[in-house]
């Protein structure tokens, strides 16, 4: 499950994270990994993307993502699971609950501190095998 912040790193070329995030997306594009998005991530990406990139660009980028990623299912039971999660941030709790229901291996996020109590392992893109850590410029 790929968290919203990882996709935004790529879309907005956010330094210094975008290269590692783009490598992760590249592995999904090459079929080396299966990538999932939470349905709330798709709507959040549209909302945030249109503010910075414009409506047309945000929709085009979302269309590309929908070609690369599976979109997980979100049901009332999953929302209830998120409400009972140990994760304080509800958006992150929903991602955790969707990840459990989808039976993914891990959550790829740069927001590791908010996933400390997650029942699914969370890793940053640079911690995922095949993603090369890029040293920050001196």
How far is CA 18 from each of CA 13, 14, 81, 119, rounded to the nearest angstrom?
5, 5, 32, 27
DSSP 8-41: HHHHHT-TTTHHHHHHHHHHHHTTSS--EE-HHH
Q: Is residue 48 within 8 Å of residue 8, measured between CB atoms?
A: yes
Handedness of CA 33, 37, 42, 44 (dihedral sign): negative
The SS3 call for residue 116 is coil
- 4-122: which CATH topology? Rossmann fold (3.40.50)
Each of the 138 residues of the chain gets a pLDDT tens digit; together they read 999 999 999 999 999 899 999 999 999 999 999 999 999 999 999 999 999 999 999 999 999 999 999 999 999 999 999 999 999 999 999 999 999 999 999 999 999 999 999 999 999 999 988 776 555 443
């Amino acid at each position: 499950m790929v968290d919203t912040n990882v996709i935004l790193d790529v879309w907005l070329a956010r330094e210094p994270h975008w290269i590692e995030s783009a490598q992760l997306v590249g592995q999904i594009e090459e079929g080396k990994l299966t990538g999932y998005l939470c349905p709330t991530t798709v709507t959040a990406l549209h909302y945030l993307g249109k503010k910075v990139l414009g409506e047309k660009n945000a929709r085009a980028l979302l269309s590309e993502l929908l070609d690369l990623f599976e979109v997980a299912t979100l049901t009332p039971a999953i929302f209830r699971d998120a409400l009972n999660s140990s994760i304080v941030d509800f958006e992150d709790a929903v991602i955790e609950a969707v990840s459990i229901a989808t039976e993914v291996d891990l959550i790829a996020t740069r927001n590791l501190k908010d996933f400390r109590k997650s029942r699914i392992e969370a890793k940053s893109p640079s911690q995922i095998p095949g993603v090369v850590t890029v040293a920050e410029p001196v």
